[in-house]
Amino acid sequence: MTRKQIILSWLSLICLTCISVFASDFIDNIQLFIIVVMLIVFIKGQQIVDVFMELKTAPTFWRLLLISYTFLIPLIISIIYLI
Segment holding 21, helix H or strand E: helix 3-26
Rounded Cα–Cα distance for residues 67 and 61 (Å): 10
User: Alpha carbon of 35 to those of 25, 42, 76: distances in Å?
Assistant: 15, 11, 11
pTM: 0.86
Average pLDDT over residues 24-52: 91
* Residue, of 1 and 35, whose pLDDT is higher: 35
pLDDT(72) > 90: yes
Mean pLDDT of the chain: 91
pLDDT(73) > 80: yes
Rounded Cα–Cα distance for residues 81 and 83 (Å): 6
